[in-house]
Structure formats: C-alpha cells, structure tokens
Amino acid sequence: MVLTLHGLNVLIFWMIFFEIAILYFCSSVLLGCRLATPKWAWVAFLLMVIGAVMNNVIVLQGSSSVMMTSYVPLEAHPLFYLSLILFAVGALIGCFVFFGTLVVAKNEKTYEGSLPLVTFGAVTAAIIAVFTIVSGAIILIPTFLWSVGLVGEINVLAYRMVWWAFGHSSQQINVAAHVAVWYAIAAIVFGARPLSEKVSRTAFLMYILFLQLASVHHLLVDPGLSSNFKMFNTSYAMYLAVMASMVHGLTVPGSIEAAQRARGHTAGLFTWLRKAPWGNPAFSGMFISLVGFGFLGGITGVVMGAEQINILIHNTLYVPGHFHATVVLGSTLAFMALSYWLVPVLFRRELVWKGLARWQPYLFGLGMTGVSLFLMGAGTLGVPRRHWDIGFAGTGGITHEFPAAAYTMLALNGMSVILAVVGGAAFCLIMVGTILFGKKMGDHMAEPCIVAPVTDEEYNANGGSAFAIPGTLILAMVFFVSFALYYFINWKYLAETWGVG
C-alpha cells in the first residue's frame, strides 16, 4: 500500500503538477502574455487536485494496493481508476490552455521571431503529454469499466502494452521538461546562449519522434511479442532518443562553458566550472541533476534497455535504482533547482533559511546518488523489487539466501535514504517557508534576478567563440568511456552466467 502511494504521489502527482506549472510559466511568463482561458485553467487545477486527493484516500482505505502500474488482473476500487482519469483530464485541459496561450502570444505579437528555446522544449513536453494522456485514457477507461463490472475481461498482455505507451511516454515528458529547465537555468544564472539553436531544437524534436519505440523496454520478457520486435525497438531504434539526450547533455554544459569563458574565465580547462556559483542552489541543483541523470540514469538505462543484458537485472532492485537516478536525481532535482529562482520571483518574497538552501541540493543529491547506486548494487546481487519479504521468512519452508554483500548494499541504501529524506524535507520547508514567511520584496527585486545574455562582442573579446568548449569535451569523453566500459562489463557478466568454457 505504501509503495503504491509512493509511486503515484511522486511520479504522477508531483511531476505532473510541476510540469503543468512549467507549461504555464513557459507560455505566459516567458512570452509576456496573458494566460488563455484562466477559468479553464482553474477547472483543470481543481480536477487535478480532486483526482490526487481522491486517489490517496482510496489507496489508504486498503483495497487498492495494485502499485502504480495497476496491472490487471489485480483489481483496485473503481474510484482508484476514476481518480486517475479525473487527474488526467485536468492535465489534458492544462495542456490545451498552454497551447491556447501560445496562440494568444502569437496573435498579440508579444514576442519576435521564433519561440524561445525553453518554450520550444515545453512545446515538445506538451505534445508528448497529449499522446501520453490519450494512451492512459485508452487503457484506464476500459479498466474502470471492468472494475464496475461493465466489461468482462481485460487482456493482460494488451493491458501492459498500452499501459506502457502511457507509462514510458510520461517519462519522456519528465525528461523534455527537465532539459528545458536546464537550458532555462543556464540562461538565468550565466546569461548562456545555446551553442546552436538548430541542434538543440532538433534534439527536442527527436524526443517526439522516437519516444514510443523505447516503451518496448518494459515488455522485454512478455510472451506474445517476437524477439525481433523487442530487439529492433530497444537495441537499435531506442538509441535515437538517447542520442537526443546526449546532445542536450553536451550543449547545456557547453553553453555554460562558452558563457563563462566569454566573461573572462578562460584559464585552463576547468576554471569556468570552478568559478561557477556552487553556493547558488539553482545552479548546484541543476548541475548535479545533469551529471546524475547522464552518468547514473542514462548509462544504466541503455544497459537495461538492451534485450539480452536486461535479463541480468530484470525485476530486481536495480530497476528502481536506475529510475531514481533519472526521475529523482534528474527531473526532481532540476525542478527543485528551478524553484529556488522561480518561487522568490513569482511570490516576490526572499528565500528563507538561505544557509540550509545552499546545502539542500548537495544533501538531496548525495542521498539520492547513494539510493540509486546501492539499489543497483543490491539488484545486481539478485534482490527483487516490489517485495516485502525477500528472504521468504514468512512463508514457512521456502528460503532464499542472498550474498552477504546484498545486505550491506541494503544497509548503505538505508543510510542514503536518511540523507535524501532530510534533503527532500528541507526543500519543502524552504519553499513553504518562503511563500508564507519570506521577507516581502515589493515590486523591485533586491538583486537582478537574471544575468544579462552574453553578447557577440563578449564572445569575441576573449578570443573564443561559442564553440570553444574544451572542458565540456573532456567531460563528454569521460562519459563515453564510462558508458562503453559498463556496457561491455555487463555482456561479460552475462556470458559468465552461462558457465560455458
């Protein structure tokens, strides 16, 4: 029951509430125009609140412990499905308010030229969101009807296939949204400009084009689908979406390096990075998100997504280890980082507990890095996920022994959890504290809240160009070497499990 609550609250409710907020911000605030149909936006918000609250109440009543995925034939209370449908309808209306706002901005000519890159990223997230929510409706509405007895049977395999069109795509919304946040923070904190607008925009478009293919990595052990289908989609075609993420992973720090060099931090390979504002949680959170998402989330995702080596860790704690690196260390930390800038600006109040705020991204980031790594470690040693009694102590008779190191991993995970929970709670306290008690700033901010964009003269003055990013290229090489090594280690490990030769 607790794990069902955990999955739904964090991955569905927290993420999607924040993403709808990002959509509104990227349209109305960034384009300087009014929000289209505010009444509908309120309806959307109300539906989302009702859906989220109702879902929590129903799960807590105890007969809906079907996990976030709610695979049939597990059956939840009909209101469980209905609450998710209400929430999804609300989110869908929110997406349309966003699209409507873009139309308002265009008609009222509140911006010149093409959409800013950050808004463009939000558009891709919103397009993916529409696809996602429609897939969710296609599977959850019949399941709701089944739970009230109007539909006789839901095919188990069909359920999983359609559910993951929803479940996986929703992860691509998270990624598109947090990448847009990375670009936004690079611009806000450094005045950085994208290295190449065209390349970054193409990379966002690749998310829309290729995300569906990767949904198949959730069906790798399902019967009824051919190996050709699985391997083509996950081992070949999937890399196109991964490539898009790697492009962003290069261009975001690259644009920061270029901006820092233009402002005079030209010495050596990494002075630009050392001189970055590590005490500003908007920056530190964003950078930890970038590195954690790439190194931990990205590399393990590709490894798990290859049909053959996936089976090494299938359904073990490795899986939550991987996605806490993507969705917590990556998306959640990026959203936290943006909040440090956004909440004071929107509510016109100063941040409270600035000392704690400086440390918060490090606490949460370090804790979550530990959670991810140690869950992966335990999973590599065979500890299953979604299991309340891994040693079968309560079954009378059946037992299973794990290597001692597995328990060490679980203990280290527990210690990391404490750090991460303290970091997460600190974030909530700081944000709620700021909104309620932060010192009022009036109409004028105490300090300018956005660094002026780097100009062409500044790029040229320091003998560089927007493309001279040697430090970032070294970091990218470190990434590729780690990636290749880890990938091949897993193939070697797979070969060893066969005990041949």
Rg (CA), the chain: 23
* C-beta separation of 351 from 281 below 8 A: no
Q: Which residue lies nearer to ligand HEM by CB, 161 or 363?
A: 363
In the list Cu ion, ligand HEM, none, the entry touching 421 (Cβ below 5 to 8 angstroms by class) is ligand HEM
- Binds 471, which of Cu ion, ligand HEM, none (CB < 5 to 8 A, cut-off by type)? none
At 440 the three-state DSSP class reads strand
Considering beta carbons, is residue 282 or 383 the nearer one to ligand HEM? 383
Q: Which is nearer to ligand HEM, 259 or 375 (CB)?
A: 375
- Report CA dihedral (141, 77, 133, 241) to the nearest 10 degrees: -120
* Minimum CB distance to Cu ion, residue 169 (Å): 8
Binding site for Cu ion (CB under 5 A): 168
Task: Pick the closer one to Cu ion by CB: 222 or 458.
Answer: 222
AA letter at 497: T
Least Cβ distance, residue 327 to ligand HEM (angstroms): 4
Q: Which of 479, 263, 217 is nearest to 255 (CA)?
A: 263
Task: Report residue 236 as tokens.
Answer: 């070949």
Tokens linked to 126? 């919103």
Q: Could you tell me the two tokens for 349?
A: 């109040």
Cα→Cα distances 195→183, 198, 199, 200, Å: 11, 9, 8, 8
Q: Return the one option of ligand HEM, Cu ion, none that residue 366 interacts with (CB less than 5 to 8 A, by type).
A: none
Partner that binds at residue 412, options Cu ion, ligand HEM, none, CB closer than 5 to 8 Å by kind:
none
Number of Cβ within 10 Å of residue 396's Cβ equals 7
CB of 289: closest distance to ligand HEM in angstroms?
Answer: 12
Residue 268 Cβ vs ligand HEM, minimum distance, rounded to whole Å: 37
Reduce the DSSP state of residue 349 to 3 states and report it.
strand
Encoded tokens for 470: 């040697």
Both tokens assigned to 373: 């790594």
* Chosen from Cu ion, ligand HEM, none, partner binding at 261 (C-beta under 5 to 8 Å by type): none
Across the chain, how many H-helices and E-strands are there?
A: 19, 0
Q: Which does 106 bind (CB under 5 to 8 A by kind): ligand HEM, Cu ion, none?
A: none
Q: How far apart (Å, rounded) are the C-alpha atoms in residues 165 and 138?
A: 10
Place of tokens 């193939």: 491
Provide, rounded to whole angstroms, the least separation between the CB of residue 294 and Cu ion: 17
Minimum CB distance to ligand HEM, residue 300 (Å): 15
Closer to ligand HEM by Cβ: residue 194 or 365: 365
Take residue 324 and report the two structure tokens written for it.
Answer: 């806490």
What does 322 bind: ligand HEM, Cu ion, none (CB cut-off 5 to 8 Å by kind)? none
Cα distance between residue 35 and residue 38, in whole Å: 6
Q: Where along the sequence are the contacts to ligand HEM (CB under 6 A)?
A: 3, 6-7, 10-11, 14-15, 67-69, 320, 324, 327-328, 332, 371, 385-387, 417, 420-421, 424
Full DSSP string of 393-461: GGGSS---PPPHHHHHHHHHHHHHHHHHHHHHHHHHHHHHHHHHHSPB-TTS-SS-SSPPPPPHHHHHH
CB of 368 to Cu ion, least distance (A): 19
Which CB, 215 or 255, lies closer to Cu ion? 215
Please say whether the beta carbons of 84 and 9 come within 8 A.
no
- Please tell me the distance from the alpha carbon of residue 268 to that of residue 274, in angstroms, as a whole number: 11
- 354 interface partner picked from Cu ion, ligand HEM, none, CB below 5 to 8 A per type: none
| CB closer to ligand HEM, 217 vs 324 | 324
Closer by beta carbon to ligand HEM, 193 or else 385: 385
Q: Report the phi/psi class of residue 75: left, alpha or beta, with left for phi > 0 and alpha for psi in -120 to 50.
A: beta
Q: Which residue has the tokens 């529409």?
A: 130
Between 379 and 438, CB nearer to ligand HEM:
379
Residue 102 or residue 325: which is nearer to ligand HEM going by CB?
325
Q: Closest separation between CB of residue 64 and ligand HEM, Å?
A: 12
Q: Could you tell me if residue 109 is left (phi over 0), alpha (psi between -120 and 50 degrees) or otherwise beta? A: left
In the complex, residue closest to ligand HEM by CB:
7
Give the nearest distance from C-beta 46 to ligand HEM in angstroms: 23
- Closest separation between CB of residue 179 and ligand HEM, Å? 16
296 binds, among ligand HEM, Cu ion, none (CB under 5 to 8 A by kind): none
Q: Side chain identity at 199, as an amino acid letter?
A: V
The one of Cu ion, ligand HEM, none whose footprint includes residue 168, by CB under 5 to 8 A per kind, is: Cu ion
